[in-house]
């Protein structure tokens, strides 16, 4: 079957866009990891995801947290134990169901989330500032469209509301 010129152009365009997005994603992963490494309270990426979820959803139980992280409850429990031992999260018995433990972010946990998010925002802002103004305008439109196509909120609150974060 012969491809039309338009089909070939769209295919080439999709390939070019995919390559560009992959390159940008490598940069974003590096920015994220550097922001985590610079945090006063050292946390791994999975642990940071847990902190973000607690920050965005508030107090929750282990099973719900594991579901949101897309991990087994035993995996979530190990992360919770490590973070609780470092006073980044706290646990309390649910007064409505004594068999259930509720988890919440502590002050130091909230500071870690805020610090990592601020460092990531600063580094991204510095990268964006080095771009030509015309490219920035196109980037805003393209990134919003990309986020929407992936089911991710593209508004200003998206980085503070980890309901989606591409993980579920």
What are the structure tokens assigned to 162, written together? 């980890």
Burial of 57 (0-12, 13-18, 19+ CB in 10 A): middle
In what order do the strands lie in the sheet containing 97-105? 60-61, 97-105, 89-94
* CB-CB neighbours of 71 under 10 Å: 17
Share of the chain above pLDDT 90, in %: 52
Q: 30-48 pLDDT, tens per residue?
A: 998 899 888 777 788 899 9
What are the sequence ranges of the domains in the chain?
Answer: 25-159
The dihedral over CA atoms of 53, 55, 56, 58, expressed in degrees to the nearest 10, equals 100
The winner for highest mean pLDDT among 38-47, 92-101, 153-162 is 92-101
pTM of the model: 0.77
| Spatial separation of the C-alpha atoms in residues 153 and 19, rounded to whole Å | 23
- Domain boundaries 25-159, corresponding CATH code: 1.10.10.10
């Amino acid at each position: 079957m012969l491809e039309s010129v338009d089909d070939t152009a769209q295919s080439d365009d999709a390939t070019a866009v995919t390559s560009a997005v992959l390159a940008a994603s490598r940069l974003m992963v590096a920015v994220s990891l550097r922001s985590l490494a610079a945090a006063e309270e050292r946390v791994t990426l999975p642990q940071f995801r847990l902190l973000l979820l607690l920050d965005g959803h508030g107090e929750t139980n282990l099973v719900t947290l594991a579901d949101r992280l897309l991990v087994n409850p035993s995996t979530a429990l190990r992360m919770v134990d490590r973070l609780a031992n470092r006073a980044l999260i706290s646990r309390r018995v649910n007064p409505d169901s004594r068999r259930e433990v509720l988890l919440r972010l502590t002050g130091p946990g909230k500071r870690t989330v805020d610090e990592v998010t601020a460092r990531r925002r600063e580094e991204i802002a510095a990268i964006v500032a080095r771009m030509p103004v015309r490219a920035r305008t196109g980037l805003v439109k393209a990134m919003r469209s990309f986020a929407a196509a992936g089911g991710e909120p593209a508004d200003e609150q998206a980085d503070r509301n980890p309901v989606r974060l591409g993980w579920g």
